């Protein structure tokens, strides 16, 4: 909003946005005067609304109706939120207790999106820690049969990945143990960008009786984890999007389709801000056309001051921005606290 626009008009805009978020009904000047202590005449309010409309912050759907916020109006409202309201003590205790009951990293993150979806009544999403920022903590190798191995990767961020390897020649327990020891000797503590060199060296130095098994194992690891690391996503609460169908029936299928395309959502979460900051994209601010009828609120979670992944919600443009931003921030903060302690 231009600098010449006075504080009163900012208050009128905030009141219109707040009322529309609460009711999803167009807001008129009479209702503003009744609900908010603006201390001016109805003529002044009508004039302010006319100016706000001419500047693109609100619009009138029908000639006889009140006004509703535009995406520009929502952006001004969000930009005016300088401090996020803290959650109540019972809310904070409930979040922490629920997350601390998680048995491992994936369970904690699954609980976080279930909780965030319930708190915000939006679709919640979280990205598992990216392999690009992880170090290899340990490889476990298990013989499912003489001709099939299960590889289990555990990273320092708590992420677990599994891969199956089909062998051309059978292996026994002693060979499996040696294979496990060889993998860990060259990969433990390494980042994934460094892993391909270690795996290539390992194949070149393989003893004759393990050459075939090692070649197949290293090939699977390089192709599926090193060269094409897969980010994983957990969603919760897609049913909440049906509330969008009232005002945005044409956008609902597009948003649902986009949520099924995990790469689209992962791109959103990859752009999550640094720890402690919340980002809001409203309508057409989203790069993906599928989200042009929605708003996306994201932040990062992490441990030891480093971001491990993104977390956030998708909902209608008339979402409760103040409450949603506070809850996204709080859940991410408590996820980070729980992961740091695990």
Of the chain, the percentage scoring pLDDT greater than 90 comes to 46
- Rg from Cα positions in the chain: 26
Which two structure tokens, joined as six digits, stand for 131? 């392999």
Q: What is the pTM of this model?
A: 0.80
Instruction: Note the CATH architecture for domain 4-79.
Output: Orthogonal Bundle (1.10)
Confidence of residue 331 (pLDDT cuts 50, 70, 90): very high
- Residue with the larger pLDDT of the pair 242 and 340: 340
The CATH code of domain 89-130+231-340 reads 3.30.450.40
Query: Could you tell me which of 12, 83, 24, 84 has the C-alpha nearest to residue 53?
Result: 12
Residues across the chain: 342
Is residue 100 within 8 Å of residue 115, measured between CB atoms? no
Is residue 131 within 8 Å of residue 192, measured between CB atoms? yes
Is residue 83 within 8 Å of residue 92, measured between CB atoms? no
Q: How confident is the prediction for the chain on average, in pLDDT?
A: 87
Q: Which of 25-39, 89-103, 251-265, 275-289 has the lowest mean pLDDT?
A: 251-265
Per-residue pLDDT tens over the stretch 96-152: 999 999 988 889 999 999 999 999 999 999 998 877 777 889 999 999 999 999 999
Residue 5 has pLDDT above 90, yes or no: no
Query: Could you tell me which of 233, 150, 221, 166 has the C-alpha nearest to residue 192?
Result: 221
The ranges assigned to domains in the chain are 4-79, 89-130+231-340, 135-226
Is residue 115 within 8 Å of residue 99, measured between CB atoms? yes
Per-residue pLDDT tens over the stretch 225-252: 776 666 789 999 888 777 665 555 566 7
Average pLDDT on 3-31 reads 85
Per-residue pLDDT tens over the stretch 27-46: 988 888 888 877 888 888 88
Element spanning 95, H or E: helix 89-100
Residue 188 has pLDDT above 50, yes or no: yes
Residue 202 has pLDDT above 90, yes or no: no
Which pLDDT does position 249 carry in this prediction? Answer: 52
Pick the CATH number of 135-226 from 1.10.287.3510, 3.30.390.60, 3.40.190.10, 3.30.420.40: 3.30.390.60
Confidence of residue 4 (pLDDT cuts 50, 70, 90): very low
Confidence of residue 254 (pLDDT cuts 50, 70, 90): confident
Is residue 56 within 8 Å of residue 72, measured between CB atoms? yes
Is residue 166 within 8 Å of residue 190, measured between CB atoms? no
Confidence of residue 341 (pLDDT cuts 50, 70, 90): confident
Is residue 137 within 8 Å of residue 154, measured between CB atoms? yes
Look at strands 67-69 and 58-60 and give their pairing: antiparallel
Residues contacting 133, CB < 8 A, separation 6+? 157, 306, 307, 308
Residue 290 has pLDDT above 50, yes or no: yes
């Amino acid at each position: 909003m231009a600098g010449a626009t006075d504080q009163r008009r900012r208050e009128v805009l905030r009141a219109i946005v707040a009322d529309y978020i609460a009711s999803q009904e167009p807001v008129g000047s009479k209702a503003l005067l009744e609900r908010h202590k603006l201390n001016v005449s109805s003529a002044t309010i009508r004039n302010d609304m006319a100016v706000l409309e001419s500047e693109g912050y609100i619009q009138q759907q029908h000639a006889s109706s009140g006004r509703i916020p535009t995406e520009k109006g929502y952006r001004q409202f969000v930009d005016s939120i300088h401090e996020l309201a803290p959650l109540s003590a019972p809310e904070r205790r409930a979040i922490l207790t629920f997350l601390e009951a998680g048995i491992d990293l994936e369970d904690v993150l699954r609980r976080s999106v279930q909780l965030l979806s319930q708190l915000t009544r939006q679709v919640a999403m979280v990205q598992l820690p990216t392999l690009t920022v992880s170090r290899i903590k340990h490889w476990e190798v298990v013989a499912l049969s003489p001709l099939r191995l299960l590889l289990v990767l555990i990273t320092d961020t708590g992420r677990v990945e599994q891969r199956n390897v089909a062998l051309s020649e059978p292996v026994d327990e002693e060979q499996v143990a040696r294979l496990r020891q060889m993998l860990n000797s060259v990969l433990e503590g390494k980042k994934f960008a460094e892993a391909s060199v270690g795996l290539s060296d390992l194949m070149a130095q393989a003893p004759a009786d393990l050459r075939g098994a090692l070649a197949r194992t290293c090939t699977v690891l390089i192709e599926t984890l090193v060269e094409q690391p897969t980010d994983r996503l957990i969603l919760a609460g897609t049913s909440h999007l049906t509330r969008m169908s009232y005002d945005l029936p044409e956008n609902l299928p597009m948003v649902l389709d986009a949520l099924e395309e995990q790469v689209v959502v992962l791109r959103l979460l990859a752009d999550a801000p640094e720890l402690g900051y919340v980002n809001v994209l409203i309508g057409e601010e989203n790069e993906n056309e599928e989200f042009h009828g929605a708003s996306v609120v994201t932040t990062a979670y992490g441990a030891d001051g480093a971001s491990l992944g993104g977390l956030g919600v998708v909902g209608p443009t008339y979402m409760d921005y103040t409450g949603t931003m506070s809850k996204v921030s709080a859940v991410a903060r408590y996820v980070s606290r729980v992961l740091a302690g695990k």
